[in-house]
């Protein structure tokens, strides 16, 4: 009788379990989505120096009768230049707004062509010429940047700015006269001074660790070491593109 009671209890328990269905398995929690563009990074950038704030055209007139009142027109040319360099930085946090510090170092060069026109007092052309020179410079800037990572974080615009130094050097001057004659001067001048910039751009991430970016940069070379009352600062507008690699 006792054995029958135990057997009945076991059968009843199995019936209850079968009615209740299979025993649920432990559910695994899904891992959080990856954070795009965080931590240390290095980058490469190439682009064009599309415009320089060079002085505008000027006309110099000598009213002294000894010089017959001739006028000289000087017209600097805004040539497109080239720049390219490296970036090293660190992105703080994984939120929507991410402070970033960056060291931006690059080569920046363009030709400084100028046209000259000499005219008589009545406007008749006496002659014209041109000069050509190349400005080569290196720039090292420390930038503070705010990056924005909304939504899935793959598209990240940013703005910022910073200060640093530049080293600039002019090649020897080449002058072409009114009859096509050419004169070359040896050597050039060099200068080191403060620089600052304002940047704006955007990254698009192909993976959490690799992005392509486009960037606009307003760059200004100051002239704090020149003893002059004139403003000799040189403002430049740079547009570039490149790639960033983020490290764990």
Three-state DSSP at 20 gives helix
Q: How wide is the angle at C-alpha 176 spanned by C-alphas 172 and 177, nearest 5°?
A: 135
Give mean pLDDT, residues 151-180: 81
pLDDT score at 80 = 85
Nearest in space to 74 (alpha carbons), one of 5, 15, 137, 129? 129
Query: Which residue in the block uniquely carries the two structure tokens 């008749």?
Result: 124
Give mean pLDDT, residues 31-35: 82
Strand order across the beta sheet in which 182-184 lies: 58-61, 71-76, 114-119, 125-132, 174-176, 182-184
What are the φ and ψ backbone dihedral angles of 232, each rounded to 5 degrees?
-105, 15
What are the φ and ψ backbone dihedral angles of 191, each rounded to 5 degrees?
-155, 140
pLDDT score at 152 = 92
Q: Which two tokens stand for residue 5?
A: 């009671």
Enumerate helices (H) and strands (E) in the chain, giving the number of each: 1, 14
Per-residue pLDDT reduced to its tens digit, 13-30: 555 555 555 555 556 677
Query: What is the CATH architecture assignment of 38-56+80-114+129-246?
Result: Beta Barrel (2.40)
Element (H, E) at 17: helix 2-20
Q: Is the pTM of this model over 0.85?
A: no
* d(C-alpha 45, C-alpha 143), whole Å: 15
Q: Which two tokens stand for residue 127?
A: 């002659």
Strands 97-111 vs 134-148: parallel, antiparallel or unpaired: antiparallel
Per-residue pLDDT reduced to its tens digit, 183-202: 445 556 788 999 999 999 99
The answer, yes or no, to whether residue 217 has pLDDT greater than 80, is yes
Task: Please list, in sequence order, all residues whose beta carbon lies within 8 angstroms of the beta carbon of residue 183, skipping any fewer than 6 positions away.
Answer: 174, 175, 177
pLDDT score at 5 = 56
Domain-by-domain residue ranges, the chain?
38-56+80-114+129-246
| Percent of the chain predicted with pLDDT > 70 | 60
Per-residue pLDDT reduced to its tens digit, 173-186: 555 555 554 544 55
């Amino acid at each position: 009788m006792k054995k029958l009671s135990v057997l009945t209890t076991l059968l009843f328990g199995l019936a209850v379990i079968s009615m209740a269905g299979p025993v649920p398995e432990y559910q695994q929690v899904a891992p959080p989505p990856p954070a795009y563009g965080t931590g240390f990074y290095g980058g490469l950038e190439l682009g064009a120096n599309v415009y320089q704030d060079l002085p505008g055209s000027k006309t110099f007139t000598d009213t002294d009768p000894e010089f017959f009142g001739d006028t000289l027109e000087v017209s600097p040319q805004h040539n497109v230049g080239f720049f390219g360099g490296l970036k090293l930085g660190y992105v703080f946090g994984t939120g929507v707004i991410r402070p970033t510090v960056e060291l931006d170092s690059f080569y920046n060069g363009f030709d400084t062509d100028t046209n000259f026109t000499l005219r008589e007092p009545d406007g008749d052309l006496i002659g014209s010429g041109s000069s050509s020179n190349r400005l080569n410079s290196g720039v090292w800037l420390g930038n503070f940047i705010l990056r924005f990572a909304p939504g899935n974080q793959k598209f990240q615009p940013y703005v910022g700015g910073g200060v640093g130094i530049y080293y600039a050097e002019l090649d020897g001057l080449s002058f072409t006269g009114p009859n096509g004659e050419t004169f070359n001067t040896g050597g050039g001048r060099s200068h080191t001074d403060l620089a600052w910039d304002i940047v704006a751009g955007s990254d698009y991430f192909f993976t959490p660790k690799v992005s392509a970016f486009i960037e606009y940069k307003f760059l200004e070379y100051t002239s704090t070491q020149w003893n002059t009352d004139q403003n000799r600062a040189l403002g430049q507008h740079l547009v570039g593109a490149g790639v960033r690699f983020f490290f764990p």
